Chain A
């Protein structure tokens, strides 16, 4: 006979850890299943060794190998491994209408509705805007490039205290300077009786009288079952739809939209080759996200930009290259010479984030393993060209050269996975209602990035967290 509790949560990142606390505060018996280990600062390394990163992340190739996505695999999820940038989505994000005329965010959710939930997360994680003397030179250099064009560039908000700028934010902060769910929501929930079971991977679920039964594999490889009056899926925008798809035989009325509408937040990475004579950008010094955000092109293009700091390992993961001539391959003698000549003083990485339609998809193989696909459509190509045009303007206005990533000039974002179980009123266009409750399945909720109906315009962590607060608030008041 399966174990029974009030609430089973799958995933302990922003989407799962936050409801765990709020429901524990409400007196519910909560069990949270997390597929990663309980890593803390002492377990983290200042290393980009893929063998080490494989202990923290699960990486998935797209089917055509043109992109890859990573999912956090550690207690606290993405809150532990993200860059720390915490920004509110602009108002226009919530009004976005796609090419088919569909307003992707439900009317119930606006920036004004989200504001109190943003406040909650910001207070809990002590999020604040950095000072200029906390902005790494890479960020300062990018701000200067925009200032030279008469454009603005704003300092970013982070959940750090006394950051040492070592640059290993996404390998886990070895100095405990990033305030994560491990420091806040999770221990508070545990103090109220919530249980976080690590190295437990949920596989599927089925409807039971009075709730749902979740089947999972524990750290010893044994299959276990647990029943929750409520079940909240928060296993990432890749895993959550896969759990639902594996459960379709038991949940036949699931929306056909499960796994559809995958959105990478419009991420595109570029590099600038700065002109000679500029002060060194010292690429390797500073937090992963270089602490400034350019909103200057938002009004016209619905695109934002922010630079990053990167240790040399970036040249293995990202295919940085020139468009033509020497260095046009992301490897080889000329590439090596280019890296030697220009890193770390003059190669500045910048990530574009933009509002785009959701064109990707997540699915499962016959044996239930996930796959992901973003077809390179004419629509995407047009978006890429638009972003490239803006980047070219910034480069030319500063005498810089625009470098590219990936052989086709487009490095798909790998971390900002969204929209695969999006919220909405219409089951034909969405998977769950505006409060994360799966259509046709009362008591089954989704609360992670997969519910976010489309791109967030900026780094999505804070919006995912605030939305999880909003869904938890709804559950406490209504279920």
Chain B
């Protein structure tokens, strides 16, 4: 794991300096040149080659505003890097291996590093990488979860129109409220 001279983990370091607002000076992911708002997440910035590679991977799995023609946010804006570099996740320990895998596939297909490819090329490189290491699909799930689960930010949930957890839908018409089909059994159980 990347550390700074004060022996903080990189994640701790970013969080700590974020408290002093210095984090605003970092190239944080943002869409359409919008300023950081109150609810905007503090995403880790991609500074090293490994981090830039994972950021490019995240942008391949759920393309964000730099890639999606609609300008809608994606996994990068949902702070997928924070999850990849979360100490509780097993990715950090094999980060270099995974980057080598992606770069290896990218060079074999296009003679360039993964971060230098366009979306279509990155897509093909990910597919090739999955063939070489089926375990990669777990990293893809993790990246998708940053966007669709929404624990660092609700940016993906808002994009989908999901209102989020709540006190329940009893009074919000969750049911059609009427019989929808004939039934085979008297009590829900087959004999």
Is A137 positioned at the interface, with any CB of B under 8 Å from its CB? yes
Contact (Cβ within 8 A) B149 A313: yes
The stretch of A86-94, A185-193, A210-218, A348-356 in contact with B is: A86-94
Contacts of B6 in A (CB 8 A): none
Q: Which of B14-22, B48-56, B58-66, B106-114 is the interface stretch?
A: B58-66
Closest chain B CB from A86 CB (angstroms)? 9
Between B61, B68, B148, the greatest number of chain A beta carbons within 10 A of the residue's beta carbon is seen for: B148
Which A339-361 residues have C-beta < 8 A from chain B?
Answer: 339-340, 343-344
Nearest to B170 among chain A residues (CB) is: A164
Q: Give CA–CA (A168, B168) in the complex, Å.
A: 10
A313 (CB) vs chain B CBs: closest residue: B149
Q: How far is the CA of A286 from the CA of B159 in the complex (A)?
A: 21
Specify which of A140, A285, A312, A340 lies most central, judged by the most chain B CB atoms within 10 Å of its CB: A312
| B34 touches A (CB below 8 Å) | no
Please indicate which of the listed interface residues B138, B161, B183, B191 has the most CB atoms of chain A within 10 Å of its own CB.
Answer: B183
Q: Which residues of B contact A54 (CB under 8 A)?
A: 88
Chain A residue, CB-CB nearest to B61: A331
Closest to B135 in A: A65
Q: Report Cα–Cα, A140/B99, bound state, in Å.
A: 46
In this assembly, does A315 line the interface, its C-beta being within 8 Å of a C-beta of chain B?
Answer: yes
Residue contact A154 to B61, C-beta cutoff 8 Å: no
CB atoms of A91 and B160 under 8 A apart: no
The answer to whether B180 touches A143, judged by C-beta atoms less than 8 angstroms apart, is: yes
Query: Per-residue CB proximity of A233-266 to B under 8 Å, as 1/0?
Result: 0000000000000000000000000000000000
A133 interface contact, C-beta 8 A = yes
Are B182 and A65 closer than 8 Å at their CB atoms? no
A284, CB-defined interface residue at 8 Å: yes
- Answer whether A133 and B177 are a contact pair too, CB < 8 Å, given A54-B88, A154-B185, A331-B61: yes
Using Cβ atoms and an 8 Å threshold, which residues of chain B touch A139? 180
Q: Identify whether the interface residues of A are mostly helix, strand, loop, or mixed.
A: loop
User: A284-300 interface mask toward B, CB cutoff 8 Å, 1 = contact, 0 = none?
Assistant: 11100000110110100
How far, in whole Å, are A65 and B138 apart by their CA atoms in the complex? Answer: 9
Whether B181 and A143, one on each chain, are in contact in the complex, defined by CB atoms closer than 8 angstroms, is: yes
The answer to whether B144 and A315 have CB atoms under 8 Å apart is yes
CB of B174 within 8 A of CB of A316, answer no
- Contact across chains for B180 and A87 when beta carbons are under 8 A apart: no
The A/B interface has a contact count, at CB < 8 Å, of 184
Bound Cα distance A163, B141 (Å): 30
Partner of B145, one of A50, A135, A298, A344: A50
Kindly list chain B residues whose C-beta atoms are within 8 Å of the C-beta of A66. 134
CB pair A316 B148 closer than 8 Å: yes
Q: Is the CB of A316 within 8 A of B175?
A: no
Asked if B180 and A168 sit within 8 Å, CB to CB, the answer is no
**Which residues of A are found within 8 Å of B134, using beta-carbon distances?**
64-66
Range for the number of chain A residues in contact with chain B = 35 or more
Decide if A316 touches B60 in the complex (CB within 8 Å). no
The answer to whether B67 has its CB under 8 Å from any CB of chain A is yes
**In the assembled complex, B157 has its CB within 8 A of some CB on chain A:** yes
Q: A143-B181, A152-B183 are in contact. Are A316 and B141 (CB under 8 A)?
A: yes
B16 to chain A, nearest CB (A): 20
- Asked if B188 and A132 make an inter-chain contact with CB atoms under 8 angstroms apart, the answer reads no
Closest chain A residue to B185, Cβ basis: A154
- Taking the complex as formed, is A176 at the interface, i.e. its CB lies under 8 A from any CB of chain B? no
When the two chains form their complex, are residues B63 and A336 in contact, meaning their CB atoms are under 8 A apart? yes
* Pair B165/A168 contact, Cβ less than 8 Å: yes
State the Cβ distance, A136 to closest chain B Cβ, in Å.
5
Is A47 interfacial (CB-CB < 8 Å)?
Answer: yes
B135-156 residues with Cβ-Cβ distance < 8 A to A are 135, 137-138, 140-145, 147-151, 156
- Please report the C-alpha to C-alpha distance between residue A223 and residue B8 in the assembled complex, in whole angstroms: 34
Taking the complex as formed, is A156 at the interface, i.e. its CB lies under 8 A from any CB of chain B?
yes
User: Cβ of A400 < 8 Å from any Cβ of B?
Assistant: no
Contact: B162 with A312, CB < 8 Å? Answer: yes
- Nearest chain A CB to B120's CB is how many angstroms away? 10
Minimum CB distance partner of A68 in chain B? B138
Contact with A along B93-111 (1 / 0, CB 8 A): 0000000000000000000
Chain B proximity mask over A435-467: 1 for CB below 8 Å, otherwise 0? 000000000000000000000011000000000
A window 405-448: CB within 8 A of B: 407
Residues of B within 8 A of A90 (CB): 189-191
Say yes or no: is A371 at the interface (Cβ < 8 Å to chain B).
no
**B162 & A155 in contact (Cβ 8 Å cutoff):** no
Q: For the complex, is B123 an interface residue (Cβ under 8 Å from A)? A: yes
Whether B141 contacts A317 by the Cβ 8 Å rule is yes
Asked whether B165 lies within 8 Å of A317 as measured between CB atoms, the reply is no
**In this assembly, does B187 line the interface, its C-beta being within 8 Å of a C-beta of chain A?**
yes
Q: Across the interface, do B151 and A47 meet the contact criterion of CB distance under 8 Å? A: yes
Contact A336 B178 (CB under 8 A): no
The 6 closest A-B pairs by CB, nearest first: A164-B168, A46-B165, A316-B145, A143-B180, A143-B181, A316-B144
Interface CB pairs A-B, < 8 A, 11: A90-B191, A111-B191, A133-B178, A134-B175, A139-B180, A140-B176, A143-B181, A163-B168, A166-B166, A313-B145, A316-B141
| Further contacts, 12 of them, CB under 8 A, given A166-B167, A336-B74 | A46-B165, A54-B88, A61-B135, A132-B178, A132-B180, A133-B177, A140-B178, A155-B183, A165-B170, A168-B165, A292-B181, A331-B140
> Which residues of A are interface residues toward B (Cβ below 8 A)?
46-51, 54, 61, 64-66, 87-88, 90-91, 111, 129, 132-137, 139-141, 143-144, 146-147, 151-157, 163-166, 168, 175, 279, 282, 284-286, 292-293, 295-296, 298, 311-317, 319, 329-333, 336, 339-340, 343-344, 407, 457-458
Interface residues of B (CB under 8 A from A): 60-63, 67-68, 72, 74, 86, 88-89, 119, 123, 127, 134-135, 137-138, 140-145, 147-151, 156-157, 159-163, 165-170, 172, 174-185, 187-191
